[in-house]
Amino acid sequence: MLIKKADDIRSSEITPKDLYLNRRKFLAGAAVAGAAAVTGIGVKELLTPSSLYAGEKIQGLQKSSFSTDEKYTPYQYVTHYNNYYEFSTEKEEPADMAKNFRTRPWTVTIDGAVKKKQKLDIDQILKFAAPEERVYRHRCVEGWSIVVPWIGFSLNELIKRAEPLGKAKFVEFTTIYDVSQMPGQRRQVLQWPYVEGLRMDEAMHPLALLCFGMYGEVLPNQNGAPLRLVIPWKYGFKSIKGIVKVHFTESQPMTTWNLANPPDFGFYSNVNPNVETYHSQATERRLGEFNKRPTLMFNGYDQVAGLYSGMDLKKYY
């Protein structure tokens, strides 16, 4: 018997991706134009950079000498295998659950031990430096890894502008807390909002990336839009997503996973094949590969080793 599949949507009815993105941009543009009419600021100024929504191309990308020449992990994997517990503890679910997440308007509060306490609009931040494409290895503490062409610029570009005081020894980052948009926050599987932190010298290291895009496009929501960190020499959970607050402090921040499970999630959490957590960290599986590969110290980013000279990394893991 021949079973014919019902054609529920004819292909001609499916809106091409760029058209549908344009429509959203048009709506956003209309809102901005309205605001411009009231405030008297030029529409053009408000609309640059034009990249507002996931999937839009980011223009004028600079190449980076930090990039690895390893093969990119397929986009489909990187966007459908996400540890983003604010949405769900199932990795394949954030892709769908985050699709209506609002990334504009978005402000980032800078406070604590800095000269310039301020609230920055996300589109102001994006203009701090030219966007670079950095192809980094990314290693999760769960034992898998990916290679991603991230887009952003060094985190220190933001920090410098805040002018931290001498007593600022650590930077603490906070993810947005919005139960109406992030259903995972309704359950206390972790302490919300999500908090991560770096020591000041770690945060100032040029490898530490303030990220807003990947694969040539604006960051998809499930990957941490509109603003996240990418700290390639540390396990993935240190690379906090959906940042709304950057707080400078004298003491080591109480970070979310460290609070939840101190023996397995250290504050530093540098990739280290010699330190075992709840399972061996000696090897990893690159998504898409069958065999496992050996894990490298600092995930292969030896240039950060100097940050930890004289420290017992088995104790401060």
Partner 1 sequence: MIRWIKVVLFLTCLVPLTWLLWKFFGATPRDMTTWGIGLGANPIEAITHETGDWTLRFLLITLAITPLRKLLQVPSLIKFRRMLGLFAFFYGCLHFTTYLWLDKFFNWHEMWADIAKRKFITIGFLAFILLIPLAITSTSGWIRRLGGKRWQALHRLIYASAIAGVIHYIWLVKADIRKPLIYGGILAILLGYRAIVWLRAKIKIKTTAPVTVTSRIQRRRLDSV
Which chain residues interact with partner 1 by CB under 8 A? 74, 76-78, 80-81, 85, 89, 91-92, 144, 187, 189-190, 260-261, 264, 276, 278-280, 285, 287-288, 290-292
The CA distance from 70 to 50, in Å, is: 30
Of the candidates 217, 213, 176, 197, the residue with the CA atom closest to the CA atom of residue 87? 176
Min. distance of Cβ 92 from partner 1 in angstroms?
Answer: 5
The nearer residue to partner 1, 57 or 91, going by C-beta atoms, is 91
Structure tokens, 168: 């600022």
DSSP per residue, 175-207: E---TTT-GGGGSTTSPSSPEEEEEHHHHHSTT
Min CB(37)–partner 1 separation in Å: 46
- Least distance (Å) from partner 1 to the CB of residue 256? 10
- Among 316, 210, 203, which Cα is nearest to 270's? 316
- Which residues partner with 247 through β-bridges? 111, 172
Dist. CA 218–CA 21, nearest whole Å:
12
Angle at CA 283, nearest 5°, toward 279 and 285?
100
Comparing CB distances to partner 1, the nearer of 81 and 308 is 81
Q: How far apart are CA 92 and CA 306, in angstroms?
A: 37
Rank residues 196 and 202 by Cβ distance to partner 1 and give the closer one: 196
Q: Which is nearer to partner 1, 165 or 189 (CB)?
A: 189
Using the minimum distance from each CB to partner 1, give the nearer residue, 136 or 237: 237
Q: How far is the CB of 261 from partner 1 (least distance, A)?
A: 7
Q: How far is the CB of 86 from partner 1 (least distance, A)?
A: 12
Nearer to partner 1, 212 or 265 (CB): 265
Within 13 Å, how many C-alpha atoms sit on residue 257's CB side? 20
State the chain's maximal CA–CA distance in angstroms: 78
Min dist CB 73 to partner 1, Å, is 8
Tell me whether residue 39 is exposed, middle or buried, using C-beta atoms within 10 angstroms of its C-beta: 0 to 12, 13 to 18, 19 or more. exposed
In this structure, the number of other CB atoms found within 10 A of the CB of residue 119 comes to: 12
In the complex, the smallest distance separating the C-beta of residue 189 from partner 1, rounded to whole angstroms, is 4
Q: Which is nearer to partner 1, 141 or 203 (CB)?
A: 141
